[in-house]
Chains A and B, each alone.
Chain A
Amino acid sequence: MKILSNIFYFYYDGFRSMTIGRTLWLIIAIKLIVIFAVLRVFFFQPTLHGSDEEKADQVRENLLRH
């Protein structure tokens, strides 16, 4: 329990005493939101669907249709 509390206060104190770090964390947060909540959800859905066997069939069809 003492270890967990030490770890908690290590990060808590570290975050509280940040200066330039606050701006950087804001940038990181915005970046991650854009990447995961916008780009990933709306633009970057996997093209292959279904079970592994179904995915294999889709790739088989794509690669051998030439």
Chain B
Amino acid sequence: MNDIVTTIDWSRAQFAMTAMYHWMFVPLTLGLGLVVAIMETIYARKKLDPKSAQADIDEWLDITKFWMRLFGINFAIGVATGIVLEFEFGTNWSNYSWFVGDIFGAPLAIEGIFAFFCESTFFAVMFFGWEKFSVRQHCAATWLTAFGASLSAWWILVANSWMQHPVGMDFDPDQMRNVMTSFTDVALSVTAVNKFCHVITSSWALGACFVISVCGWYLLKGRNTGFAFSSIKVAVIVGLVGIVGAMATGDSSAVGVSQDQPMKLAAMEGLYEGRRGTDLVAFGILNPSKKWNDDQDAMLMEIRLPKGLSILSRHDPNAFVPGIKDIIEGRDIIDGKEVNTVNYNERILRGRIAQKALRDYNQARECKDIVGMDKARDKLAKHYKFFGYGYLSKADDAIPSVSMTFYPFHIMVILGSWMLVFLIATVWIVFRRPRWTEYSIAGHPVFPWLAVISAPIAWICSQCGWIVAELGRQPWVIQDIMPVQAAVSSVGSGNVKLTFFIFLFLFSCLLLAEIGIMLNQIRNKK
């Protein structure tokens, strides 16, 4: 039993670590790809305009090639880091892989076959084709590389969204797996669309902050200032559109989470008991000894925005938002009416009935008892919605770590808000008041330093977003249907521990290589 628990923990830790490393590279590819495509478009327009000055054309060619080189470094170092996640599915999460492979595998396969090859083909044209393709063709290849990267992300996010909100499938007890009944329901679910838009726009903001950060360093050093200003002007527009888009799509994601994963929303806000017109905690410190069923205060201290959570999650300042206790007890109020959302003890009971029905089906199948099979299948279908709850021993097992969801969520919101303010200020400064970039406090130039730290802020913000998404849905691998303890393989924890450290070493080396090569390129820019 202890070894199983250890295997689960190490498998989760390994997946989290590899996914987080992978996510160091991906958002920069998505964001910087767009920035580079816009830069090359400016270059192409100038090149094709007979009235353009040669110096202007050369400047934008230099800008495009420099950022394209950094894009290439990030792409090369990051490529294939996601493949190890698929290895982990097959080895550490084999029950999960089989159980939903028919659905989960499809978007991953499409991503591998179509988007990756599309991306790689145009990637070659981007780097090898400057002398061999026309200006328009080359620019088109750069746009298609950026588009291909986004397309890759689309399919991966479809797969992830399906885990958060499983749709378009039926469980087949003969195959012992869920089979896809509607590809469009899976590929175009509201959850997937929201998640894609949120991830893409936030990646634009991250890519823009990376450019601004590097340019901030040039401004600090007092070199390449013309290059830095021109680059920031493109990046800041992309960043501003990205961060506003991320906030708007974050809002629609919150509405989706309140409907499909109310427990996650409650954990994000440290909300134990719901009420009408629920406040949003802007900043707070959780009471670590708080339990869902005791009377202690949830917060040691907090700053609240009145009715903020009701507005955010239900777009109604007086709406009821259920807390963890309400969700476990099966209470909600929708459109002014009390709704029974099925309490968690009942869900556990119904999950066990579903699992017993599956056992009965298997026995009936072995005896070729058609009537018994039909009866068991009907019972299974009736309770399948709560299948995963059958693995839980008590309601508490269905509560995610509140602190690991609450704090990353608030860090994400605070840093995202800072990015919005910083990018608005940067637009104003670079387009209207460029002299303000020289303003110093106690000998320290303010704008360049703020610019330099904008990239790490964007990365922390992006990582926190994924921590909220993934830890907030625990214990579920597939929402309501499969918890982590059912998904994990029967493998020894020693192997998982060993590969955890191998990955930690490998990915740390890759990250250090990326940072080293990039810093070298940035330092040596003429």
Contacts and interface: CB of A to CB of B under 8 A. Distances in A.
A60 B162 CA distance: 22
Contact of B498 (A11, A20, A43): A43
B175 A56 contact: yes
B377 interface: no
Interface in B54-109: 69, 72-73, 76-77, 79-80, 83-84, 87-88, 90-92, 94-95, 97-99
Contacts of B84: 35, 39, 44
B414 interface: no
Contacts of B491: 47
Contacts of B94: 46-48, 59
Contacts of A40: 87
Interface in B407-433: none
Which 9 pairs across A and B sit closest by C-beta, in order of nearness?
A14-B128, A47-B94, A44-B87, A24-B76, A56-B176, A47-B489, A46-B90, A59-B98, A44-B91
A35 B128 CA distance: 27
Nearest to A48: B94
Interface in B356-410: 358-359, 362, 390-391
A45 interface: yes
A52 B177 CA distance: 11
Given A46-B90, A59-B98, 10 more contacts: A10-B124, A27-B76, A35-B80, A43-B91, A45-B91, A46-B91, A57-B176, A60-B176, A63-B95, A66-B391
30 contacts: A10-B124, A10-B128, A10-B129, A14-B127, A17-B128, A20-B73, A20-B521, A24-B73, A27-B510, A27-B513, A28-B79, A31-B506, A31-B510, A34-B506, A35-B87, A44-B88, A46-B94, A47-B90, A47-B92, A47-B489, A48-B97, A48-B98, A52-B175, A56-B98, A56-B174, A56-B177, A63-B99, A64-B355, A66-B390, A66-B486
B1 to A, nearest CB: 12
A27 B90 CA distance: 26
A5 interface: no
A47 B513 CA distance: 33
A32 B176 contact: no
A63 B506 CA distance: 33
A44 B83 CA distance: 12
A31 B499 contact: no
Interface in B155-198: 174-177
Contacts of A34: 506
Nearest to B514: A27
Q: How large is the interface on B (under 10, 10 to 19, 20 to 34, 35 or more residues)?
A: 35 or more
A39 B76 contact: no
A43 B495 contact: yes
B112 to A, nearest CB: 14
A28 B330 CA distance: 52
Contacts of A48: 94, 97-98
A13 B128 contact: yes
A23 B73 CA distance: 10
The DSSP consensus for interface residues of chain B is helix
Given A14-B124, A47-B94, A39 B499 contact: yes
B248 interface: no
Interface of B: 69, 72-73, 76-77, 79-80, 83-84, 87-88, 90-92, 94-95, 97-99, 124, 127-129, 132, 174-177, 355, 358-359, 362, 390-391, 486, 489-491, 495, 498-499, 502, 506, 510, 513, 517, 521
A58 to B, nearest CB: 8
A55 to B, nearest CB: 6
A24 B387 CA distance: 47
Contact of B127 (A21, A31, A66): A21
Contacts of A21: 72, 76, 127
Contact of A23 (B97, B362, B510, B517): B517
A57 B128 CA distance: 51
A34 B491 CA distance: 22
Contacts of A13: 128, 132
Contacts of A14: 124, 127-129
A10 B99 CA distance: 45
Nearest to B488: A62
Contacts of B517: 20, 23-24
Contact of B502 (A27, A31, A39, A46): A39
Contacts of A27: 76-77, 510, 513
Contacts of B132: 10, 13
Contacts of B77: 24, 27
Contact of A11 (B83, B91, B128, B174): B128
Contacts of B97: 48
Contacts of A43: 91, 495, 498-499, 502
